[in-house]
Amino acid sequence: MKKILLASTLVLLSAPSFAANDSSGFRVGGGFGTDFGNHQLRESRRGPSVEADPTVVLEAGYDFNDIFAINVKGSATGNKIYGNSRRNRGKSYNLGTTYDLAVEAEAGYTFKLDRSTSIKPYLAVGAVGYDKDTTEFFQFEDGEDKNAIKARGALGVRMTLGNGVYVDGRVQATDFSPRSGDFNAKDDLLTQGLLTVGYKF
């Protein structure tokens, strides 16, 4: 995790060395996301399994130039628990909402489609912080009263129109592994597709 934060910091510190151009500016937007299929965050042969509902996302960002940017995203995700026993198999129960806040370093390249429209394929890496209730529920940390920080990576494409409106589509993967135990991509990696719309100043 420290290596991810260090790499993100180095990218952001190097950004001013690239000449700023018309691509620089603040962005603010929001949208929705969903996991792929019935991806289970926790699976047990005897116990219940947990699945994620659609996610609501609010985001802000700053483009330094055609290449580098920084993003801050806050999201809320509903969760359901499914029973695996004969008595309650197939039944779902609402577990409430989990919250997270992510900070990302973004790198890509902005292509000018015409004088007013641009498109930018990008790669983003960063860290995600979870509230204490979410940390405890998913056993992200050993012990109580802690806020977990996990890694996240994303691939996306953002189109910005001449009037400032942008549309951003991405696929992101977040580490959901518990503090103890081996990492299993099938059970411990939450993969989501997100679509956001906003305005660039």
Q: How confident is the prediction along the chain (201 residues), in pLDDT tens digits per residue?
A: 555 555 555 554 554 444 345 689 999 999 999 877 444 455 544 455 667 678 899 999 999 999 999 999 999 988 777 665 555 555 666 777 888 999 999 999 999 998 889 999 999 999 999 888 777 766 676 656 577 888 899 999 999 999 999 999 999 988 877 666 666 555 667 788 999 999 999
Closest to 101 (Cα-Cα) out of 64, 134, 63: 134
Q: Does domain 2-200 have CATH number 2.40.160.20?
A: yes
Q: What is the total residue count of the chain?
A: 201
* Domain positions in the chain: 2-200
- Is 12 in a helix, a strand, or coil? helix
Give the whole-angstrom CA distance, residue 87 versus residue 161.
Answer: 54
- Is 68 in a helix, a strand, or coil? strand
What are the two backbone dihedrals, phi and then psi, of residue 180, each rounded to the nearest 5 degrees?
-105, 145
Give the whole-angstrom CA distance, residue 28 versus residue 199.
Answer: 6
Model's pTM, two decimal places? 0.74
- Burial class (CB within 10 angstroms; exposed 0-12, middle 13-18, buried 19+) of 22: exposed
